[in-house]
Chains A and B, each alone.
Chain A
Amino acid sequence: AQKVTQAQTEISVVEKEDVTLDCVYETRDTTYYLFWYKQPPSGELVFLIRRNSFDEQNEISGRYSWNFQKSTSSFNFTITASQVVDSAVYFCALSTDRGAQKLVFGQGTRLTINP
């Protein structure tokens, strides 16, 4: 069975601080896909990134970066120089079915950036 654990339920930081959101996954499949989604206070879900199991390259997109480490089954998300607009709930998700892509989500981390 697949499982995603986001151990940090809530994180609160001051604006401009760097913050890392942890995501640990469990699967026996050798091919899988990892995702991060953002849910701002308005409630919609916004896709941020997808990473395939065979691609361990880290990725940077502006102030956002993702660290994928198969050795520790982790796919962590770092926001550099956080801003108030980054306040949201962030979800990590996993799928192992290349066809159906049934997502298994973590419980989410509520990130609050204080001015």
Chain B
Amino acid sequence: DAGITQSPRHKVTETGTPVTLRCHQTENHRYMYWYRQDPGHGLRLIHYSYGVKDTDKGEVSDGYSVSRSKTEDFLLTLESATSSQTSVYFCAIRGGLAGSYEQYFGPGTRLTVT
């Protein structure tokens, strides 16, 4: 158990509204990631963070922003949600021992934009 929680776990929102998803970790990992999972696409990286206030874009970052003001929290914001952002969102940490490269995932957030 990598100590990762995501909130909310499910959310239904309307097109055009802002949405913020939260990822919380308890083990002081430096790297945190946000992915989205869609049928036929596997998982795709949205943004990642390599430290407090240090973030960078991933493959599908358009329409998303992130913030990391504390080591333990990584927030994903959809400024104005669109139906194409209906997806399952997974947070991950790069965990384990120093030099470890594997990522461990949170339970996911199912977001539906109507």
Contact = CB atoms under 8 A, between A and B. Distances in A.
Interface residues of B, number: 25
Interface centre among A91, A103, A104, A108 (most CB of B within 10 A): A103
A109 B104 CA distance: 20
B45 A103 contact: yes
Interface string A4-19: 1010000000000000
A64 interface: no
B103 interface: yes
Contacts of A107: 40-42
Nearest to A50: B102
Interface residues of A, number: 24
B68 interface: no
A57 interface: no
B92 to A, nearest CB: 8
Given A91-B43, A105-B42, A105-B43, A47 B56 contact: no
B50 interface: yes
Contact of B42 (A33, A91, A98, A100): A91
Interface of A: 4, 6, 33, 35, 37, 43-45, 47, 50, 91, 93, 95, 98-108
